[in-house]
Each structure stands twice: as C-alpha cells, then as structure tokens.
Amino acid sequence: MSKITIEKTEYDRLIKLAYTDNLTGVGNRNALQEVYETKTFNGVLYIDLDKFSSVNNTFGHAVGDEVLVLVGELLSQFKSTDEYVFRIGGDEFIILGSYSTKAVLQSRAQELVSKSLTIQHSKVDLTLSIGALFMGSSNKLSLKDITTHADSLMYSSKKIEGSAYSFNSL
C-alpha cells in the first residue's frame, strides 16, 4: 500500500470515529449537527427508553449496553431512506426525517412505539417514550430549539403508561 492509501484509510477511520456512536454504530451528536446543517428535514422523533436505569441496576451495565446496541440496530432497520438515526447520549436517540405530511410522521411514531423491545435472556421488556415534532417546510429553528421542543414532547409521553408518543407541529 502506498503512503497516500494508508493516510486516506486513516482519515476515513478518524471521520467514522468522529461521527459514529462507538457503542451502537448509529450517528452521534457530531453527525446530528452535520445532518442538521446539510440535509433537508421537517420532522423529529426524540426517543427515550423508559426506566433504562433499572436495567443497568438490575442486570448490570453489560446488559444495558446490549440493550442500547439492540435499540440502535432496531432504529437502523426501522429508518427509511429519508431518515437519519442518532444516539445523543445515554438512552436517548433522535431520528431526523423528511415526511410528506404530519400524518406520516405520526404514523412513523405509532409504528415505532408498537415495536417489541424484549431482551430474551435477561427478560427485559422496555417501553419507549417519543416526542414527535413536525416543522413543515419553512423550518428556521436552531438544532437546540428543535431538540428542546421534541424533548419536551417526549417527557409528556412519559406520563402515559407503556410505549407512547406525544405529537406537535410548529
């Protein structure tokens, strides 16, 4: 291999490290910022695993990590070509996407809350709380404002027993 090939391989590896969550393999906060700045989207699904800390406390962090990996895989398989998945920390994930209507975003949220999240060998059943935010085509909000709105919606859905989502549009 030439020196240029080695340098390019190392550069590609560093870029991947900079934009990928090292546990789940989905995008990280850097990737979220990059997509926000360079792609067109009009909807957000802000996803939190309910009572995740009890998984770590009951079964240990290795099982907690396994759960996060499985959720990353679930979301990666769930996403459409117009959606991007990110883990923004702990047990919180975001999907940014382009949706033709509010109803399509709501349908995606409903589809996601109906997914079964059972870790077989540990008998862990998880539920999701989701904040679904539709912004329309004239979105001028900052990433911080968007995630704050979606996060607030997600916390509203936590008040509902079991997997649930709360929806709003701006």
Token readout for 16 is 């991947």
77: containing domain: 3-169
What CATH number did the domain enclosing 160 receive? 3.30.70.270
For the chain, how many structural domains are there in total? 1
SS3 at position 51: coil
pLDDT tens per residue across span 48-66: 999 899 888 988 899 899 9
Cα–Cα dist 27/31, whole Å: 5
Burial of 17 from C-beta contacts in 10 A (0-12 / 13-18 / 19+): exposed
* Model confidence pLDDT, tens digit, residues 61-81: 998 999 999 999 999 999 999
How many CB atoms lie under 10 A from the CB of residue 45?
A: 28
Give the per-residue pLDDT at 15. Answer: 78
Mean pLDDT along residues 44-50: 96
Tokens of 153: 């919606």
- pTM here is 0.91
Report how far residue 161's alpha carbon sits from residue 149's, in angstroms, rounded to the nearest whole number: 21
* pLDDT for residue 1 is more than 70: no
